[in-house]
Amino acid sequence: MSLLAIENLTVALPKGLDRPNAIEGVSLTLDKGEILCVVGESGSGKSITAASVMGLLPPALRISGGRIVLEGADLLALAPEQWRDLRGRRLGMIFQEPMTALNPIMRVGEQIEEVLRVHGEGDRRARAARVGELIEAVGLPDPAHIRSAYPFRLSGGQRQRVMIAMALALEPAVLIADEPTTALDVTTQMQILQLIRSIQRARGMGVLFITHDFGVVAEIADRIAVMQHGRIVETGRAADILDRPQHDYTKSLIAAVPHLVANAMATEGAAGEPVFSATGVRKSYWRRGSWLRRSTRVDAVRDADFILHKGETLGLVGESGSGKSTLARCAVRLIDPEAGAIVYRGEDLAPLSRRALRPYRKRIQMIFQDPFASLNPRKKVGEIVAEGPITHGEGRAAATARARDLLRLVGLDPSAMERYPHEFSGGQRQRIGIARALALEPEILVADEPVSALDVSVQAQVLDLLADIRRRLGLTMLFITHDLRVAAQICDSVAVMKDGAIVEYGRTAQVFSAPAHAYTRALIDAIPGKNWRPPAPV
Amino acid sequence: MRDFARRFARNVGAVFGLVLLLAVLALALLAPVLFPVDPWQMAGVPFAPPLEDGFLLGTDSLGRDVAAGIAHGAHISLLVGLVSTVAAIAIGVTLGAVAGYAGGRIDDAIMRFTEFFQTIPSFVFAIVLVAIFTPSISSIIAAIAIVSWPPVTRVVRGEFLSLRSREFVQAAIVLGQSTPRIIFGQILPNALSPIIVLGSLMVASAILLESALSFLGLGDPNVMSWGFMIGAGRSVIRLAWWMSVFPGVAIFLTVLALNLVGEGLSDALNPRLARRRG
């Protein structure tokens, strides 16, 4: 008998949505001591599956069929109190967002202890001892200090460890992890994955691991279930699915995964004349102190230098807080750098006033990260794309005509002109953002994490589009990303940033094959699934 | 837009408020037709109770028709309510937009200025202003506008603070748009919903303020208004209750209608919030 069995589970959506059921006929089994990865893109129903097991479905959804059997007992037939007792005791859960999953006004120690207390475990002293053990088990430094700290004092990775400690407090038989590493930096992600793996090994738990990232799957899975549109399309042993996927959807997902094979199209040494450069760019923020503490200066960017040659794509990679976005925003002068020069074709843009800068705005355009925030929700797509040229004095008719052409260029139907941004999916919106940037016929495109908010298959399409446009229009691109696999795929050279400084800068192939800086090596080592070579698409 | 109308129509109270408001508006527009006689003119016996001598709502101490007074007073109440609200919103949106978008010192300066106005009790301030400028329609409107813009500034500033860091605003900067164009073309349309809701509620409080001013005898002496009628009927309320009750009911219904409409707008413009409440 398996530890956890989901049999033919169906969860109905409220009426009037694009499909009747969030998940339909989902059957899964999880055995003791194995990690089952449920993979799928957003909207595939993978999180709903996890929420159903925990009894955490949003009130609008209801289970309309099937069974969830945990150690021989059907959870759906249990009274709410019985199910509640199983949560925490037999079923543990880790959430995606460690920032919001912890109570911000409760000390870490109390929060872990609460799990024990609500289940009536032990007396005060026994509980305190257990909390100490747990904090140590999840590898948190300085346990005595950590337990009296508030969550905001901890880093994202530390918070996720606290969540894991809470989930493990009562030694559950099943651990459900819903995208536990998605919000974390790549090096932290690797540590958390290793922690989950080692704890699972040591205690023989069954882990239901929800993720969208095939790299993570390759790193951790024993078995895999692939979900699409609320159904399971393929299940099997990890090695089988990763190397010999059967279903077309699985094949397309795996083909879309960016992998660490340096850009084959990198025009080795063939770069043109330098067109854009930054030298000694510096930007710092003041963290305001209280009346007892002095204000402290935080360097967001320190003496950053880079040169963009005509037609080149330079990747700016680093983890969150490394200053890569600040540097990109300095390059387009959304942020005014404190020192240094930003030179475009011999003209230093850094000291120019906003008015004097206007003619150069046309030449340097930007694509933003969040396709849901970067388009004005009150404007039609046609207006959004035509806005730039109109601002720079082009006639409305001509600008509108060009907007139509651009939408076609980025693969959207011209009928999109009359619609509002909320009617489009994330990938389509990102295409609109690209069209908006291209409307001014820029020479340099600054792309700030343009694909990190997108699903992997959409991500691959947008990357292809960018590569295609870049080739056709001869664009020069500054590409900011936290994902080294993406950087390897599309950049000619990369600059690795850490704590505001560029620590390594060179041709992509060279940086990835022979990283000189220890930090670059650590980043490359932390790429999930780096030892897995996806099968070549057939 | 159709979606908006459907959501609004789902709220029974809001539809009722809208109907009531339209009725008051119709009364104001049709007043010269329904009651062609000047409401200040003596029309019958003084203190005629309702439904006597052909007076629907009776007559006052000077034999003036109360119904005619209410119909003509509707005109002035709505006029003062609307114009003063429009003026207050114009001041409030401009200051709030500049404060929220610019931030820093400018924001500080504007907000301290706003707080200065907020610390003075608004009714007392309005009395002082009207007393200084001599009571007339325009001075009453000005006084009400001056005391009611600070909340608009605060709301608009809050909206701008959260909207200006959104990526679509940064995109507009990168496109090279000018600051006024970003403020009014990009951000303001996104901040309209709370302004509309606040505006509908402000009309209600402006009508109350106007009535209170005329009740105290600070209304325009040349126009009939609800507050004045209550004020005039106050001393004889035991003799002729209808003189103060009917104008009071008129004020009550109009303000209620505006509040219901405001609530309905708020729900219809923030569908997510409304659903949570329902």
The full DSSP string for B149-215 is SHHHHHHHHHHHHHHTTSHHHHHHHHHT--HHHIIIIIIGGGGHHHHHHHHHHHHHHHHHHHHHHHH
Weakest mean pLDDT among A497-501, B2-6, B189-193: B2-6
Cα–Cα distance, A148 to A135 (Å, whole number): 12
Distance between CA B37 and CA B43 in Å, rounded? 8
Domains and CATH numbers, chain B: 2-35+57-277 (1.10.3720.10)
CB contact under 8 A, A361 and B176: yes
**Other Cβ atoms within 10 Å of A400 Cβ, number:** 17
Amino acid type, A477: M
DSSP helix/strand/coil, A179: coil
The Cα–Cα gap between A342 and A331 comes to 7
Q: Are the CB atoms for A267 and A492 separated by under 8 Å?
A: yes
The tokens describing A159, both together, are 């918070």
Select from B251, B261, B247 the least CA-distant residue to B201: B261
- Check: CB of residue B257 under 8 Å from CB of residue B24: yes
Query: What are the backbone dihedrals phi and psi of residue A20, each rounded to the nearest 5 degrees, phi first?
Result: -70, -30
In terms of CA atoms, which chain A residue is nearest residue B175? A388
- What tokens does A310 get? 């005509």
Task: Tell me the C-alpha distance between A44 and A212, whole Å.
Answer: 10
Q: B170, A433: Cβ pair inside 8 Å?
A: no
Beta-carbon separation of B168 and A369 below 8 A: no
Structure tokens belonging to residue A349: 């843009």
Compute and round to an integer the Cα radius of gyration of chain A. 25
- Digitized pLDDT (tens) for each residue of chain A, 538 residues in all: 689 999 999 998 887 777 788 898 999 999 998 999 999 888 888 888 998 998 888 888 888 889 999 888 888 888 888 888 888 889 999 988 877 888 988 999 999 999 899 888 888 889 999 999 899 888 888 888 888 888 888 888 888 889 999 998 888 999 999 988 887 888 888 888 999 998 899 888 999 999 988 889 999 999 999 999 889 999 999 989 998 999 999 988 888 887 766 555 555 445 678 899 999 999 988 766 666 667 777 788 988 899 999 889 999 998 888 888 899 999 999 988 988 899 999 889 888 888 888 889 999 999 998 888 899 988 899 999 999 999 998 899 999 999 999 999 898 988 889 888 888 888 899 999 999 999 999 999 999 988 888 888 888 889 989 988 888 888 999 999 988 888 888 899 999 999 889 999 999 888 888 899 999 999 888 888 877 877 765 4
CA angle A250, A253, A255 (to 5 degrees): 105
pLDDT above 70 coverage of chain B, percent: 96
Which of A378, A390, A440 has the most B C-beta neighbours within 10 Å, making it the best mutation to test the interface with B? A378
In angstroms, what CA-CA distances link A173 with A30, A51, A81, A167, A207? 11, 17, 19, 11, 9
Residues of B with Cβ-Cβ distance to A358 under 8 angstroms: 176
- For residue A152, what pLDDT is reported? 84
The strand pair at A296-309 and A274-287 is best described as antiparallel
Q: Which of B168, B174, B189 sits opposite A373 (nearest CB)?
A: B168
Q: Which residues on neighbouring strands pair with residue B86, listed in sequence order?
A: none
Mean pLDDT computed over every residue of chain B = 88
> Does A378 contact B190 at a Cβ distance shorter than 8 Å?
yes
| Residue among B131, B159, B142 nearest B91 (CA) | B142
- Using a CB-CB cut-off of 8 Å, the residues of chain A touching B1 are none
CB crowding A347-384: b at 16 or more within 10 Å, else e: eebbeeeeeebbebbbbbbbbbbbbbbbbbebbebbbb
3-class secondary structure, B44: coil
Q: Which residues contact A179 (CB under 8 A, 6 or more apart)?
A: A47, A96, A210, A211, A212
Per-residue confidence (pLDDT) for residue B277, from 0 to 100: 43
Token representation of residue A536: 């070549």
**A302: helix, coil or strand?**
strand
* First vs last C-alpha separation in chain A: 38
Q: Residue A107 carries which DSSP code? A: -
Q: What is the pLDDT of residue B205?
A: 92
Return d(Cα A173, Cα A72) in angstroms, integer.
13
For residue B173, list chain A residues with Cβ-Cβ distance below 8 A: 334
Which amino acid belongs to residue A534? P
Would you put residue B104 in left (φ > 0), alpha (ψ -120 to 50) or beta?
Answer: left
pLDDT at A291: 64
For chain B, the 3-state helix, strand and coil shares in percent, each to the nearest 5, are 75, 0, 20
Does residue B212 contact residue B123 with C-beta atoms inside 8 Å? Answer: yes
Looking at residue A421, the DSSP 8-state letter turns out to be G
- What is the pTM assigned to this prediction? 0.81
Residues A387, A391, A395, A399: is their CA dihedral positive or negative?
Answer: negative
Nearest to A364 by CA among A305, A446, A433: A446
- Does the distance separating the beta carbons of A378 and B168 come in below 8 Å? no
Interface test with A, best of B163, B164, B167, B269 (most A CBs within 10 A): B167
| Alpha carbons B70 and B63: distance in angstroms, whole number | 15
Selection from A97, A95, A93 nearest residue A184 by Cα: A97
Q: What is the pLDDT of residue B274?
A: 47
| Eight-class DSSP state of B55 | B
* Whole-angstrom distance, CA of residue A516 vs CA of residue A512: 9
- Cβ neighbours of A332 in B, within 8 Å: 174
Provide the residue count of chain A. Answer: 538
Residue A63 near residue A9, CB atoms below 8 Å:
yes
- Provide φ and ψ at A123, rounded to 5°: -95, 180
Beta partners for residue A207, in sequence order: A35, A175
Say if residue A67 is exposed, middle or buried (CB neighbours under 10 Å; 0-12, 13-18, 19+): middle
- Give CA separation, A520 vs A186, A481, A506, A509, in Å: 12, 14, 12, 13
pLDDT at B275: 46
What is the bridge-based pairing of β-strands A21-30 and A4-12? antiparallel
Q: In which residue are the tokens 């799957």 written?
A: A217
Q: Left if phi > 0, otherwise alpha if psi is -120 to 50, otherwise beta: which for A45?
A: left
B residues 152-171 closer than 8 Å to A (CB): 166-168, 170-171
Among residues A17, A186, A166, A1, the alpha carbon closest in space to that of A89 is found at A166
Strands A62-70 and A73-74: antiparallel
φ, ψ for residue A19, nearest 5 deg? -145, 155
Mutate to test the interface with A, among B168, B190, B192, B272 (most CBs of A within 10 A): B168
Angle A477-A361-B172 (CA atoms, 0-180°, nearest 5)?
100
Chain B, residues 52-81, CB within 8 A of chain A, namely none
Nearest-CA distance B87 → chain A (Å): 25
Q: Residue A289 has what pLDDT?
A: 60
Can you say whether the dihedral through the CA atoms of A378, A383, A386, A387 is positive or negative? Answer: negative
Picking from B241, B212, B214, the residue whose alpha carbon sits closest to that of residue B225 is B214
Do the Cβ atoms of B170 and A378 come within 8 Å? Answer: no
B11-66 pLDDT, tens digit per residue, is 889 999 999 999 999 999 998 888 888 888 888 888 888 887 778 888 888 888 88
- Dihedral sign of CA atoms A8, A13, A19, A23 in order: negative
Q: Which of A66, A54, A96, A39 is nearest to A223 (CA)?
A: A39
User: Does the beta carbon of B177 lie under 8 angstroms from any beta carbon of chain A?
Assistant: yes
**Which 187-206 residues of chain B touch chain A by CB within 8 A?**
189-190
Q: Which of A192, A199, A197, A252 is nearest to A226 (CA)?
A: A252
